[in-house]
Amino acid sequence: MAKQSGKVAATANEAKKSSGKAAAERVASEGGALSHKEIVLILIGLMAGMFLSALDQSVVGSAMRTIADDLKGLELQAWTTTAYLITSTVATPIYGKLGDIFGRRRMFLSAISIFIVGSVACGFAGDMLQLAGARAFQGLGAGGLFALAITVLSDIVSPRERARYQGYILAVFASSSVLGPVVGGLFAGTDEILWITGWRWVFLINIPVGAIALYLVWRFLHVPHTPVNHRIDWWGATTIVLAVVPLLLVAENGREWGWTSPLSIGMYLTGAIGIVWFILAERAAGDEAILPLKLFKSSTFTMVTIVGVIVGVGMFGGMMTLPLVLQIVNGANPTEAGLLMLPMVAGMMIASIVSGQVTSRTGKYKGFLVSGTAFLTAGYLGAFTYTYDQPLWQVSMVMVVIGMGLGQLMQTLTLVAQNAVSASDIGVATSSSTFFRQMGGTLGVAIFISILFNSLPDKIAEAFKANQTEFMAAKDRVLADVMSGKIGADDPNVKFLESMKDAAGTDALGEKLNTDSSFLTGLDPALAKPFLVGFSNSALQVFYAAAAVVAVAFLLSWFVKAIPLRTKSASEEKAEEQAAMAAAGH
């Protein structure tokens, strides 16, 4: 990178000494389009960094229960997730601006390095508080990996060609999402690997993977960069923390605290004050802001950002429910649940590749915003028929449709945001788009998980009343088997009935599943049925809400103004700007 940056700068200086059109053309030629082979080599480095981040999220999720049990801190489990979420979300827009100032390659290498160091700290954490702190540090690196990868791609490929290359990155993201639970389940289920506790390899595996990513990025990721003489927006960085952290905390912990509790209300007020201060700080910073307000002067950028937030709410909220349904209702373990999500991944990859190719060849993209939100809405509508005993192939068909919606949207939303701003703002536009979608996703998870578990006691109570005769008959059979000596006190059915002696009414049935679903393993189908029916009916409430939210995004997608896709990469445009300035004698 330094070589190329130096070369461009040197040529620009030469152009300043010369005059006329010829000198300007020489500068532009130095920032010319890369060959397909050069792009693919750079893409290898980008995908390595993306794989590192995406794999970690899905691996840790499937192993967290084992980790919390071993570190004797199950009650602190949520904080390990919250710490990572806060730092990675807050860091995302900051990386976008720093990449514009110091260069994407340098920041990408820094992000990977921070992530690896954080992974080592996580792997050797002695308790849950140490793990939460290490996850927070790890999140500081993770915040830059996705946004910087997409931004680098925009530097080297024109918007019209970018869609087909983004499909490769999304394929890495999708495949790692499936591979993660399998790997996480394998590590969590192994006592020791090379004399180290199995679950610690969930984090330590990032060391070799990260080393490979570092080498590939260092070796292949060479993109032109012209240093920008901007000051760092410290006030913006401070106030965005004040604005975002309280909202993320209440989103993650609102169910436990109570959404209207004094603590939650305090978080709302703090976040609101932070948002006002952040806007004032960004207005004062102008072009040097972490999130320049001038971006929102573009109606296209503003509208696609709103659509992205709404899609994030519906997409992440609904997607969080599906693995829970597969594990609790269909009895899949985390590894199996990951594999059962393959139809969604397949739909996502197919739609991503097809939409990318069509966009590249035709230059048309708005149709994918409309059809993507339509597919996503249709997928959730298809889930309205879900029942506890529905065949998995029918669930898989719903997943394919949802995946096809996501595949069309993920790259198109970013592409539209990038195309709506000037080349100099590509970094902040990409990171801002990613940031707002992450915030929407966090909000969606908080809302829909609350809908799911708040409705659970009532739905299970309704299912219990509807199946009471069958339930009581199964209970009598179990008690008869105990009396005859066929089964002992360690039988799952006996343990379940013993635990229910202290239940104060049918509402306690919902609370029992709310806190721990492991008792369903090995339970008589008639005894388990009220819980399975109740949980599946609660999941329907989530699908109803997700369909309604995504339907709003579908309506808004029609109003996104389709700006013709530019045919030059950001680097080419910047080189031409330099050439024009050099020719003018600036």
Q: Where do the domains of the chain lie?
A: 34-231, 234-289, 458-539
- With beta carbons less than 8 A apart as the criterion, state whether 264 and 258 touch: yes
The pLDDT tens digits of the residues spanning 431-477 come to 888 888 888 887 887 788 788 888 888 888 888 888 888 888 888 88
pLDDT in tens, the chain (586 residues): 444 444 444 444 444 333 333 333 333 344 445 677 777 777 887 887 778 777 777 777 667 767 777 777 655 666 777 788 888 888 888 888 888 778 888 888 999 999 999 999 999 988 888 898 999 999 999 888 878 888 888 887 877 777 777 777 777 776 776 677 777 777 777 778 888 887 888 888 888 888 888 888 888 777 766 666 667 788 888 898 888 888 888 887 787 788 889 999 999 999 999 999 999 998 988 878 888 888 888 889 999 999 999 998 888 766 778 877 887 888 777 667 777 888 888 888 888 888 888 888 888 888 999 999 999 999 999 988 888 888 888 888 999 999 899 888 888 888 888 888 887 778 888 888 888 888 888 788 778 878 888 888 888 888 888 888 888 888 888 888 778 777 777 777 777 777 776 554 445 555 555 555 666 777 788 888 888 888 888 889 989 999 999 999 999 999 998 888 877 666 676 666 666 666 766 5
Number of neighbouring beta carbons within 10 Å of residue 176? 22
Tokens, residue 190 = 């192994």
Q: How far is CA 194 from CA 56, 187, 190, 254, in A?
A: 20, 12, 11, 40
Q: Give the pLDDT confidence score for residue 334 in this predicted structure.
A: 67
Instruction: Kindly report the number of other CB atoms within 10 A of residue 121's CB atom.
Output: 18
**Tens of pLDDT along 330-352?**
877 766 777 788 888 888 888 88
Q: Do 544 and 384 meet the contact criterion of CB atoms below 8 Å apart?
A: yes
First-to-final CA distance of the chain: 24
CATH class, domain 34-231, is: mainly alpha
What is the model's pTM?
Answer: 0.79
pLDDT of residue 266: 93
Lookup: tokens for 74: 């199950």
Hey, is 109 helix, strand or coil? Answer: helix
Whole-angstrom Cα distance, residue 456 to residue 444? 18
Percent of the chain that is helix, strand, coil (3-state, to 5): 85, 0, 15
**By the 8 A CB rule, do 434 and 88 touch?**
no
Q: Let me know: does 303 contact 556? Beta carbons within 8 Å.
A: yes
Q: What pLDDT score was predicted for residue 323?
A: 78
